[in-house]
Amino acid sequence: MSNEWPLWEVFIRGQHGMSHRHVGSLHAADAESAMMNARDVYTRRNEGVSIWVVEAAHIAASAPGDKGPLFEPANSKVYRHPTFFDIPDDAGAM
């Protein structure tokens, strides 16, 4: 068995109430250490108020080859966007 510490992906919520965002990776023996390492490595400049760490092996990712079937069908659903609808200015804010 390899003795390299597992790879973890780090997600941080910044100061302004946004969602957690992927900021990078690091190595750690377990979740507790990964959390501390994330704090030490990725929040040195006041970057965050909340941290998630996920072991990289546990992330399921979409395959690049599936890009067409996964994402292109949404292209034709333009009616999901508010700009699709023409509402007269006289109707007021909406």
Partner 1 sequence: MNRDQALFEFLLRMGDSTLILSHRISEWCGHAPVIEEDIALANTALDLIGQTQFWLELAGEVEGKGRTADNLAHLRDAWDFRNLLLVERPNGDFGKTLMRQFLFDVWQSLMLAKLKGSSDQRIADIAEKASKEVAYHVERSANTVISLGDGTEESHQRMQDALEDLYPYVGEMFIGDKVDEVLVKAGIAPDPASLRAEYDRIVGDVMYKATLQLPEDDFAHQGGKTGRHTEHLGYILADMQFLQRAYPGAEW
Partner 2 sequence: MYAQMVKTAGTGVKKPKDMTAEEKAFQAKIDRNEKIEPKDWMPDDYRATLIRQIGQHAHSEIVGQLPEGNWLTRAPTLERKAILLAKVQDEAGHGLYLYSACETLGVSRDELTEMLLNGKMKYSSIFNYPTLNWADMGAVGWLVDGAAIMNQVPLQRTSYGPYSRAMVRICKEESFHQRQGYAIMMKMAAGTADQKRMAQDALDRLWFPSLMMFGPSNKESVHSEQSMAWRIKINTNDELRQKFVDQTVPQIEFLGLTCPDKDIKWNEEKGGYDYTDPDWSEFFAVLKGNGPCNKDRLAARNAAWKNGAWVRDAMLAHARKKAARKAVAA
Question: Binding residues for partner 1, per CB under 8 A?
Answer: 5, 26-29, 32-33, 36-37, 39-41, 44
For 21-60, letters b (16+ CB in 10 Å) and e give eebebbebeeeeebbebbeeebbeeeebeebbbeeeeeee
39 binds, among partner 2, partner 1, none (CB under 5 to 8 A by kind): partner 1
| CB nearer partner 2, residue 36 or residue 87 | 36
Site for partner 2 in 39-58 (CB under 8 A): 41, 44-45
Whole-angstrom CA distances from 1 to 4, 39, 56, 89 are 9, 28, 18, 67
| Closer of 49 and 70 to partner 1 (Cβ) | 49
Distance of CA 70 to the CA centre of its chain: 18
Toward partner 1, which CB reaches closer, 41 or 54? 41
Q: How far is the CB of 26 from partner 1 (least distance, A)?
A: 6
